[in-house]
Structures are given as structure tokens and as C-alpha cells.
Structure 1
Amino acid sequence: MDADLTLGVVAHRGGLLVQRPELTVGVIQAVSRTSGLTVEVIARQPLDRRDATQRQRDIRLRRDEPVRVAPRRLLPDHDEGENLRLGWLDQAGHARWEYGSTVWSWSGDDHTGSDGPSWRCICVLPPMFDQLSLVLAWPEIGFEETTITIPLPDQATVEQGTTSIWQAPVDALPVTTPLTDHHTNDHLPVRIEAGTVIAEPRVLHRSDHAVVALTRLTAIGSALSIELFGAATGSLADTLTAEAFPPAHQWEGPSLAVVRGNDALWLGAQEATSSGGDHSFVAVQEFATHRPEGDTLDLIVAWPQAGLPNVLVRIPR
């Protein structure tokens, strides 16, 4: 079964792995399933504070020295990589390099901003248990090859926690208290890799042909980053696919609100992707919000376009 349609066990709850002047690398989350280990990372380069005039001046004065290329020890002499390379060591100590199934990159702000270039990748490694020797390399910017040992869940734990999203328990409750709706972009973008995952993946809402799952809940200081996954099958999936792509452009994925008192604060997705075809449709959305007080996060989840009405979900944190 496709990993997207299977809940797994959180194998790494996120955090920075490497902090160097030329690059920081952090894990957003790693999830272990019987089918493989999914690792999502973000790499960030520093922001160049010089404007165009200053850069040209430094070039004329030869202050821009060439970047020292880091030596290749585990990487082959030549490869097709252009950004951070991610791999793992097998039992013989040989590096097995992976190319991300999903990759995003951003060139960064101009010199007056706050964020430099960044690169985000999801890699699916073979099934691994107990321990992972993760290898990182980016020789072109002088980033030395780095091996980091990460503990992983054992095989029995992963087998027990690997469940189809169509069969997993559903955490939905009826909405019994009247709530006042508000629509808000509640929080500025956050550095997800600096946070900690505080909940296991779970199914929040489901019908015979549509399902919504929480695939990540990360706390970053006073903020929360929430990732929702929606899937549909059959003729419903065909309808959603037709609405999501040209010429309609009318698709909306699952909706999410945070409950605060008697208010439901509906969040706008900060990132959203979707794909569909062959009676299958999937959508992934990321939301950010202020972290509420208390030990429980109350959410309202719905997907009107897929026939899923409002339900209440209470997630212990």
C-alpha cells in the first residue's frame, strides 16, 4: 500500500541535526512503516545581507573568494545532485544515497529579509528498525559529509503501528456546543524543523470514500504547525480531481479550525498540494496557529466537497 495511505509510528520527532555557518539541517519528522522509513528534512543557507552594489564591489576587490569544495569520501566522484544529498549506511558501512520523492526549494529573501535559500525534501528509505546511520553531504558549498546516528522504533512497534487510514480508529466526536466561526491566518510561517512533534498520526474523519488524517502536529515555541492529509476514492475522487485542476481551479481541501472557548478559528492553509487520477485523489495541507493553553488541542475538521461535515477532535498534547 502507498505510504501516504498508511499510518505509521513517529520515528523522529524533529529538531536540528546540524548547525554550521554554511548550512543548518533539521528533521521535520520521520515516520516508520513496515513498507519503509519516510524522512522529511529542511536545509537552510544563510541570508546574504549584501545588496547588488556591495556584491559587485566585493567582486571587483576580489573579496569574494571561491567556496572551498568539501572532499568526497562517501559520495561517488560524480553524481547528479545539486543540493543536499541524503543517504544511509548499510551494515557494511557503505553509503546508500537516496533522491527525494518530493522536493521543494526557495531562493530566499533579498538582503533586507530574514531567510536565506532553503531546500526541503521527503525521502523514503527501506524499512529500518532500532537505529539509522543518516548521511548528509553538500560538497559544492563546503558542507562536509556528516553521519548522524538516530534511534528508531523496533520492528514489533512498527508492525503494530502500521495501519491503513481506511481501517484505523477514528477520533471524531459530534459538535454539540454552538460555536462562532472566525476565519484567520493565525500565525506567521514557522521554522518547523526547530520544533518537536507532539502527537502520533491518526485518522480524524472518514466516510466510505473520503478520509482526513492528522499526519503531523509540531510545537515550535508558542506556535503549532499542523499537517492534514485528505484522500478520496471512486467517483468522488474523479469529481475532486476535475475541480482541482484546469480549467475549474475550484478545489478546496479539508478544512481545519482551532476551538478557543466558544469560537472556531478556521485556519487558512499556508501550503497545499493535491494530485488525482484513476479514481484516486489526495491532498496535503499545512496550517500554523498559536499554541493554545491546556493539555488538549480541540479541533473542528470538515471536508464539505467530499461530504464530510464538521466534527470535533480532541488531541492530547
Structure 2
Amino acid sequence: MTETLGVPAHDAGLIVERPELTVGIVHAISRPTGLELDLLARRPLDRRDASERQADIRAGRTGPPAAPRRLLPPYDEGIDLRVGWLDQSGRAHWEFGSWSSSSGDHFEGTHGPSLRTVLALPPLFDHVPVVFAWPEIGFPETVVDLSLPDRATVERDTISIWDAPLRVGRPPDPLRHRVGGLDVDEPAIEAGRIVAAPRVLSRDGDAAVVLTRLTAVGTALSVEILSVAGEERARAAMAGDYPPSRPPPSVPDPGYLRTRGPGAAIAAVHDRDAVWVEPHTCSFGGDDRAYRATAEFVLSRPAGDVLTLLVAWPSAGLPDVCVDVPVLGFG
């Protein structure tokens, strides 16, 4: 497994704000092998109710006229947001990565339809003009110049997760364990700000847990955790994700959250309280040689400038550990 901690390339947040569309950077990481760009685009919420929409259809009222194509070819197979970058000659290179989408809230809600994409761009340093296009909704081609780390910094600071520093402690004893978290919808992470660098949270043998992103959105923290394992620990992790029969408990159970998977579980620790949280989203996969899981959690921001996490991945054979994560701009 060749997982690496790259160099944060952007503080995140909204970089395009137009009536038709907003686009924000969720995460941007530079490595010698390329630039990883995690983007989330959101359209405005359609405030029409069902009868108003039907009336518009009967009246033949359609959306705005298509925006002109200048960098896009005259015809392409896209039907939604396209993302690319410009080389020194001004030529656009359109990129395609993983996609996920949400239809958004009811017309009386808050969030409109969204698209999220993770793109693997070639190695780029110093700066890059990123171009966005969605002509079908009237969104004009928009170029945003992103400042990036220089090549020397990226080559010096990129490190394998197996060699990265590991600073952990034993959990306090005793601890009061409970299930908690914020009773809110998924926060608008594309409008937040990165407040901690990626770091290894737990590691033993060929299993590791990595904090890949910590984003502040108002009073909430969005936490992305990567869990990876190889060989015997991969087989154990896969077996832990497919128990024979394990229905969820009828009441909140911290022990269930700690062990159910996929991947590692986390709790926020304050004084002698450990508050376990369910992931908002998660994905996992692998085989008997390599396992990988990604999960996103939502926590309350700490009162001070340090977030203390209790990290557990018993199915992969990792002991419970506590990690103090400095949180930039808090306190």
C-alpha cells in the first residue's frame, strides 16, 4: 500500500459564487505524483411547489439560455458541471473523476441540488488556472487561479503514512462513553475552512487510521477518516464489516458504534466523557490483501484550540488510542 500524506494545497471554501451555481473546494492535496482536488458544486434551491412547476411546464417556460462555449468543444458528452485546467498556452484540459450527487432539500428547505467530484490532476505547482463550465444551466465558463505549493515543498513534505510521525496516548481511565454528535443535516463543507493538516491517528503493523480532512463549518467540524489495512488485518477488517447477523441496538450503544465498522470509529473526548458519533457517509472495499474505508463524521467544535479524539479499530487489531489534534483558528 502506497498511501501518502501530501501537502495541503488550499484552505478550502467557496471559489465560485454565481446565481446559477456555487463551487467550493472541500479538499486539495499536492503530491509529487499529482494534485487531488475534491470539489462540491451546489445549485440554488428551487422554491417552486409542485403546482407551480406544472404550470411552468404547461406554459412552455424553460430554463435560462445556454451559456456560450469558448473553452469547451462545440459538442461534448457532458450534461452537468465540467472541470478542467489551463496549460501555459491557455488550452483547456478537461478532467473526469469520481462523482456523487444529491437532489437537495424540499422546496422549503435549505440546500439545493449538489454535485461532488474528486479529480486527480497531473503534478502542478505554484499556481493553476482551473476552469468550470456548465452551459446547459446558463453558467458561463469561469476560470479561477489557484495558488499551489511549490515543487520543492511538495517533494520535501510528502511522506508515506507508514513513515509519518505518530503521536498518541492511552485513553484516560475511567471514561464515560455515550453516543452523541450534532443533530443537524450534513454541513455545507464546501463553504468551510480546513483547520488541521492531514496526519496519522493510529498505526500498528500494516493497519493505519489517517485524518485526511478537518473542516470547520460554523460551530461544526466535518472530519474525514481513512482506514487502510493489508494482509491478515485486511482479512480481519473485511470479516468485521460482514458479521453473520448483527442488527443495530434499539437504544444508542457506544460499544456498537466502536466496533461495527466499516473502518475505524471515533469519539470526541472532553474531560472524562467520550462521545461516539455515527458517520454521515462511508464507503469501503478491498479483498484479502488490501482494505480501504473512508468515512465522514460531524462533531461539535471544541471549546479550545485542541480536538481530542479517541480512535478505535478493533476488527483490524488496533488498540484504542487518544490523539490531540491542534485546530487552527479556534479557541
Given the two structures, how large is their TM-score scaled by the length of structure 1?
0.94
Q: How does 1:146-157 map to 2 (within 5 A)?
A: 146-157=142-153
RMSD, aligned α-carbons: 1.8
| 8 Å contact from structure 1 (residues 187, 288) kept in 2 | no
1:180 aligned onto 2:180: no
Match of 2:213 among 188, 198, 216: 216
Match of 1:21 among 19, 22, 43: 19
The equivalent of 1:97 in structure 2 is: 94
Report the Cα offset of residue 60 of structure 1. 2.8
Identify if the C-alpha distance between structure 1 residues 205 and 15 changes in structure 2 by more than 3 Å, giving closer, same or farther: same
Residues 206-251 of structure 1: per-residue CA shift (max 9 Å, x gap): 0112100000011112111110000000022133234436987964
Identify if the C-alpha distance between structure 1 residues 176 and 260 changes in structure 2 by more than 3 Å, giving closer, same or farther: closer
1:125 aligned onto 2:135: no
Identify if the C-alpha distance between structure 1 residues 105 and 247 changes in structure 2 by more than 3 Å, giving closer, same or farther: farther
Following the alignment from structure 1 to structure 2, what is the Cα–Cα distance between the partners of residues 104 and 314?
32
Following the alignment from structure 1 to structure 2, what is the Cα–Cα distance between the partners of residues 246 and 182?
23
Following the alignment from structure 1 to structure 2, what is the Cα–Cα distance between the partners of residues 278 and 253?
15
The equivalent of 2:36 in structure 1 is: 38
SS in 1 for 2:196: coil
Output the amino acid matched with 2:100.
W
Following the alignment from structure 1 to structure 2, what is the Cα–Cα distance between the partners of residues 220 and 290?
10
| 8 Å contact from structure 1 (residues 23, 143) kept in 2 | yes
Residues 38-83 of structure 1: per-residue CA shift (max 9 Å, x gap): 0000011111111221111223334x23421111111111222222
The equivalent of 2:78 in structure 1 is: 81
Output the amino acid matched with 1:274.
F
Aligned-residue sequence identity (percent) comes to 49
> Once structures 1 and 2 are overlaid, which stretch shifts more, 232-241 or 68-77?
232-241
1:204 aligned onto 2:214: no
Following the alignment from structure 2 to structure 1, what is the Cα–Cα distance between the partners of residues 148 and 281?
29
Match of 1:11 among 4, 9, 12: 9
Following the alignment from structure 2 to structure 1, what is the Cα–Cα distance between the partners of residues 276 and 182?
9
The equivalent of 2:292 in structure 1 is: 282
Residues 175-219 of structure 1: per-residue CA shift (max 9 Å, x gap): 244221111232422000111101110001001121000000111
Output the amino acid matched with 2:194.
V
4+ residue runs over 6 A deviation: 246-250
Output the amino acid matched with 1:56.
Q
> Once structures 1 and 2 are overlaid, which stretch shifts more, 112-121 or 209-218?
112-121
SS in 2 for 1:133: strand
1:143 aligned onto 2:139: yes
Output the amino acid matched with 1:306.
A
The equivalent of 2:250 in structure 1 is: none
1:240 aligned onto 2:250: no
How many residue pairs end up in the alignment?
313
Residues 60-115 of structure 1: per-residue CA shift (max 9 Å, x gap): 334x2342111111111122222211110111111011001x21111222323222
| 8 Å contact from structure 2 (residues 199, 212) kept in 1 | yes
Identify if the C-alpha distance between structure 1 residues 107 and 247 changes in structure 2 by more than 3 Å, giving closer, same or farther: farther
Following the alignment from structure 1 to structure 2, what is the Cα–Cα distance between the partners of residues 108 and 195?
18
Where structure 1 has 5 or more consecutive residues not aligned to the other structure, the ranges are: none
Residues 273-307 of structure 1: per-residue CA shift (max 9 Å, x gap): 10102511000010111111111111111101111
Following the alignment from structure 2 to structure 1, what is the Cα–Cα distance between the partners of residues 220 and 201?
21
Following the alignment from structure 1 to structure 2, what is the Cα–Cα distance between the partners of residues 69 and 268?
42
Where structure 2 has 5 or more consecutive residues not aligned to the other structure, the ranges are: 247-259
Given the two structures, how large is their TM-score scaled by the length of structure 2?
0.90
SS in 1 for 2:165: coil
1:193 aligned onto 2:190: yes
SS in 1 for 2:105: coil
